[in-house]
Structure 1
Amino acid sequence: MAATPNKSGGYDYNFVKEPPDTTICVICQLPSIDPYLSVCCGHLFCKSFLENTKKAAAIVTSNCPMCRSEDFVTFPNKQIDRAVRNLHVYCTNKEKGCKWQGEVYYISNHLGRSDGCDFEDVQCSNKCGEIVQHQYLVSHTEAECPRRMVTCQYCGVDGEYQLIEGEHKELCPKFPLPCPNRCDVGSVLRQDVTEHRKMCPLEEVECSNKCGKKLQRQYI
């Protein structure tokens, strides 16, 4: 995979050694992407600059921006292109700790592959909106992400962590609850609470003789 151009014109990387002047675009002052040489004065341009110049030429006559010659003709230079792509650069994540360095041609491989730079910032694959370094992506998606898929330990239903631990937990029929009367039974499944109260010794019930009093079932 070839190195990917950036929006600034040339290759805006941190080079291991200062790039030769023969590789520098006269407009953006960076090692040229798709270099073209002018016939009139021999200056080097990025292809993107020439394309923008052609668009502008539809409105105004375009002269050479350096020597002002009206005979502004350029041609691609593959030799300079190869020289630029063979320049050695540091990883764009060098400040974060990445030790990689290599040719311009291979930096997009290093950054773009699925097992790429450990220090590259990537978005969570679960689309939770979190941005983490590549080296922490697996631990985030499997143990921290609120949108990771989990299984309810009580009823076995699958869902996102934030839903299972939130709305579902409030409704799960098999979630263990303490007896509303705090009896010695310990916990009761949510779906069984109503039936449990029908036999709970601490549930208040009316006297069977219709005297109007309410007592705990154990004292009736």
Structure 2
Amino acid sequence: MVFLNRTIDTNFFSHLSFFVLQNFQDLEAEKAIMGSIVYCIHHKDGCKWSDELRKLKFQLVSMFHFYIARLMIAHLNTCKHDAVPCSNKCGAMIPRVLMEDHLKYTCAQRRARCDFCAKEFTGHTLEKHTGTCGYEPLYCENKCGMKVQRRHLSQHKLGECAKRLVACRYCNKEFVFDTLGAHHAKCGRFPVACPHRCETAVLPREDLEVHLKDHCTTHLLSCTFKDAGCRFKGNRFSLDKHLEESTKMHLSLMCSVVTKQQHQITSLKSAISKLSLNYTGTLIWKITDYSAKMSEAKAKEGMELVSPPFYTSQYGYKLQASLFLNGNGTGEGSHISIYIKILPGEYDALLRWPFSHSVSFTIFDQTVVAEKACNIVESFIPDPTWKNFQRPSREPDSLGFGFPRFLSHEMVKKRHFVKDNTMFIRVKVDPSKIVAV
């Protein structure tokens, strides 16, 4: 295999001629040599030209190198991969296949126009010009979305860009230009006119409220007792005079307000009381500070503790328990006495009288081991002939019905009926146990 080279090496041909002369008489050697394939030196670059050595027409072996050279030169004169000098005389050796691109894009001596200013440059100067052309449009660095020629970019950023930073002329704080209008709408130092057109022409927005309250001479002010019902309106000077002359009227208005508020408070208390009422028919009564209350009961005769009222049902009987820690009647001084009384309720007119449900009292033993607890329970079924179970009047009996000897003081000491200075008593009404009336 032989590769052609543009530069003819005479030593190569001399050696090849000697080799041929020595072996020419050997027909097999001659056949091998003359069958050799000659490739272009640009074969690796993609040139597909090749030819057989036997096609060369020569009579003398000494002329062998001459025909090889002719064959090579004839091909290289047209080989598109062979490098030739640039036709613009830039000094570069360029393969023919790349010459068109070189002349158009990379030749230092090419002539080209700038796409932005349309001026003509050589390739070398165009490269320097690119990136500096004043007519090239560029996006604003502030990201306002505008494209501006490079020569006008500085002016745009200083005076035209919607995203440039500018200072508010009133408060001197900096804002993005396109948000300045929204800032002016709430800027505290923005000048506004008095809405009542007083002698003050303009003033900062943040001072307007104080101006209207303390300085504006034309602003109509309501009387201080407006919420109490006074309907007077006037400017600052007439308001001062009104307050001096209307003291009695204002006092009368305030008294009416106080009376109205007292009724409202009473109504609210009633509503709250109704919301907190017990309608289950069972009361768990927690008695705290037992020691102090027992000492007070011993020192003060007839001291009675009363429970919160409760109902047997939502529309049922209203009841209340009472407790004498130092006893009452036959249990005085030795026992705890407990009673139940019927209070006037909202639905008494709809209920069946006399009251006939069974009532039980339970005092809880608060021992740690629940299985060892020994609760005390007492119950009764009302006697329909006793007046305390009839429909109550607005002033119910002070005592009620119950057990004067419910639990002895000695038993209280023996068991855990009082723990952490607290006692628990349950009062339960059982509507299923009704005495026949």
User: TM-score w.r.t. structure 1 length?
Assistant: 0.56
Distance 1:175 1:75 in 2: 79
Given candidates 169, 175, 180, the residue that maps to 1:159 is: 175
**Paired position in structure 2 for 1:85:** 108
Q: Does the CA-based 8 Å contact 1:123-1:130 persist in structure 2?
A: yes
Root-mean-square deviation (Å): 3.1
Give 1:150's aligned amino acid: V
**Paired position in structure 2 for 1:186:** 201
**Paired position in structure 2 for 1:143:** 159
Distance 2:128 2:177 in 1: 34
Distance 1:167 1:213 in 2: 39
Flag the 1:195–1:76 CA change in 2: closer, same or farther, 3 A: farther
**Paired position in structure 2 for 1:57:** none
Distance 2:201 2:93 in 1: 81
**Paired position in structure 1 for 2:147:** 131
Given candidates 186, 202, 205, the residue that maps to 2:218 is: 202
Q: Does the CA-based 8 Å contact 2:83-2:93 persist in structure 1?
A: no
Flag the 1:196–1:87 CA change in 2: closer, same or farther, 3 A: same
The structure whose Rg is larger is 2
Helix, strand or coil at the partner of 2:178: helix
Helix, strand or coil at the partner of 2:169: coil
Given candidates 108, 122, 127, the residue that maps to 2:138 is: 122
Distance 2:190 2:197 in 1: 16
Helix, strand or coil at the partner of 1:188: strand
Q: Does the CA-based 8 Å contact 2:165-2:177 persist in structure 1?
A: yes
Helix, strand or coil at the partner of 2:181: helix
Q: Does the CA-based 8 Å contact 1:203-1:216 persist in structure 2?
A: yes
Deviations 1:147-170 (A, max 9, x none): 01111111111121112x232212
Flag the 1:117–1:202 CA change in 2: closer, same or farther, 3 A: same
TM alignment of 1:9-158, pairs within 5 A: 39-40=47-48, 78-80=92-94, 81=102, 84-93=107-116, 98=117, 100-112=119-131, 116-158=132-174
Distance 2:153 2:147 in 1: 9
Helix, strand or coil at the partner of 1:168: helix
Helix, strand or coil at the partner of 1:183: coil
Q: Does the CA-based 8 Å contact 1:150-1:158 persist in structure 2?
A: yes
Deviations 1:120-162 (A, max 9, x none): 1111111111011122212211111110111111111112111
Give 1:100's aligned amino acid: K
Helix, strand or coil at the partner of 1:142: helix
What percentage of residue pairs aligned between the two structures are identical? 29
Give 1:216's aligned amino acid: N
| Deviation (angstroms), 1:208 | 7.3
Q: Which has the higher contact order (CA 8 A, sep 6+)?
A: 1
The structure with more strand, counted as a fraction of residues: 2
The structure with more helix, counted as a fraction of residues: 2
Given candidates 233, 240, 252, the residue that maps to 1:214 is: 233
**Paired position in structure 1 for 2:270:** none
| Deviation (angstroms), 1:216 | 3.3
TM alignment of 1:168-187, pairs within 5 A: 168-187=183-202
Helix, strand or coil at the partner of 1:171: coil
How many residues are treated as equivalent by the alignment?
146
For structure 1, the 5+ residue unaligned runs are: 1-36, 42-72
Give 2:121's aligned amino acid: G
| Deviation (angstroms), 1:200 | 0.4
Q: Does the CA-based 8 Å contact 1:148-1:161 persist in structure 2?
A: yes
Deviations 1:42-101 (A, max 9, x none): xxxxxxxxxxxxxxxxxxxxxxxxxxxxxxx958884344872321111112xxxx2532
Give 2:206's aligned amino acid: Q
For structure 2, the 5+ residue unaligned runs are: 1-44, 50-79, 85-91, 95-101, 240-437
